[in-house]
Amino acid sequence: MTQRQHESAPGLEPERGFLVAVLPKGSDAEAEVDELRDLARAAGVEPVGALVQQRTGPDPRIYVGKGKLGELKQEYTNERAESLLVNDELSPPQQRNLENELKARVVDRTQLILDIFAQHARSAEGKLQVELAQLEYNLPRMRGLWQHLERVAGGTATAVGGGVGTRGPGEAQLETDRRLARRRIVLLKRRLEVLRKQRETRRRGRRRSEVPVVALAGYTNVGKSTLVNALTGAGVSVNNRLFETLDPTTRAFEHDGRRYLVTDTVGFIRRLPHQLVEGFAATLEETLESDLVLQVADASATDEELDETTDAVNAVLTEIGADVLPREFVLNKIDAVDSFRRRRLANRFPGSLHVSARTGEGLEQLRARIAERFAERFEPVRLLIPYDQGATLNELYALGAPVDERSDLPEGVLVKARLPRRELRRFARFLVADAEAPAASSV
């Protein structure tokens, strides 16, 4: 049962899920299982037990080794579990074999994350991306969905592959479903491409105005959405669940008269499935198109957790090509640590910013650091624009350039503003030096 089903049926117990993970020797089994528990709860499943096997790699046929399979069956039964949640993406045969052995529904890591994403997508684009990712995941697995038709009365098998006795209603329906799925995938990709072009048009508008764009990136649940709310006064959802923020949210704040855009992005996790990195282009493109990345981490985490989560974020940023962007490291939740821990963090992460989105500590320093990054982007100027050049004044305001003062004089409008450097030539004929500026008659 998903969270949506659980919420629509109050009073019902959440689905009981048993967790299984195959991990290399020496890996942090506790951290891996803890994250899988968090994923399960985010999907509305209550974890009731877990089994870990440490070996070189998953068994290609049934995921766990033969010797561990009997133990898994026994523990699954003892815990009265209703589904098996696997910490890796399974091949279709692995998933089918596990289901046959346990007589249970098996959900792998990718399927689990897709279910969570489906719950949290709010925008039309986010929902399209979820549907596309689910279709691409399910297409090679459709064979298993029709297994129940392989035992049609009379011995008519419907296994795909052709030959005497292999054709029947199941095969026809399976091929129809595959064809419909492929058509739907093509349609979704076309719609998403239209939306991508619309995003690019909006971004071009932002680039023309030279409004700096700052993207927040970080491990899920480090408080990015709370930080956006604290910086900008936005109303981004801040529930304590994995992937609470899926659709990119962009809000603005001002500092010393200048405007900055801040974009909240989806939280990263260990081994974010590759098709999700590809499929959820909207939120990741916002990171790629930003001028500055704020990499947010949890100051209250242990040293080991900080290293692991920071490495996971760095890996995703590298995969999407955002590792070349300017970056500031921000330690959030600093209110949850003592003075000794603060000094240790300062030594471990030189130049990092220590903030608390909850209490507001360090936010002004964060705004000032962002402003410093873009200080040379704008040039302070004085412009005297004649009244018959009203269109020029409109162009100035359309740029979104900070206007510090405006005076209406007999000769025209005297404006003190900060122009994007690339626009200086465009307004050069209206530039006046301080000594040349007429005295203001009114403000």
CATH 3.30.70.240 fits 377-430, yes or no: yes
Determine the pLDDT at residue 38.
87
Beta-carbon contacts of residue 280 (< 8 Å; ≥ 6 apart): 117, 129, 133, 246, 266
Which token pair is 361?
A: 């500590």
Helices (H), 257-381: 274-279, 281-288, 303-319, 339-348, 363-373
Say if strands 83-86 and 15-23 run parallel, antiparallel, or are unpaired.
Answer: parallel
Q: What is the mean pLDDT of each run of 10 residues along the chain (443 residues)?
A: 43 86 89 89 92 94 93 95 94 92 92 84 78 86 53 38 45 79 90 81 62 86 88 63 59 83 77 62 66 93 90 83 88 96 95 95 94 81 89 80 82 86 84 65 41
> How distant, in Å, are the alpha carbons of 25, 210, 215, 219 from that of 292?
38, 13, 6, 17
β-pair type (249-255, 258-264): antiparallel
Q: What pLDDT shows up at residue 276? A: 65
The domain 211-373 belongs to what CATH superfamily? P-loop containing nucleotide triphosphate hydrolases (3.40.50.300)
CATH of the domain spanning 3-119, picked from 3.40.50.11060, 3.40.50.1370, 3.30.300.250, 3.40.50.720: 3.40.50.11060
Please give the Cα distance from 60 to 384 (Å, whole number): 74
Task: Note the pLDDT of residue 173.
Answer: 74
Burial 24-59 (b: 16+ CB within 10 A, else e): eeeeebeebbebbbbbbbbbbbebbebbbbeeeebb
- The pLDDT score that the predictor gives to residue 13 is 80
Query: By CB neighbour count within 10 A (0-12 exposed, 13-18 middle, 19+ buried), where does 372 fall?
Result: exposed
**How many whole angstroms separate alpha carbon 440 and alpha carbon 443?**
7
Q: Which residues contact 125 (CB under 8 A, 6 or more apart)?
A: 192, 195, 247, 282
**Number of other CB atoms surrounding residue 398 within 10 Å:** 11
Residue 245 tokens, joined: 């923020």
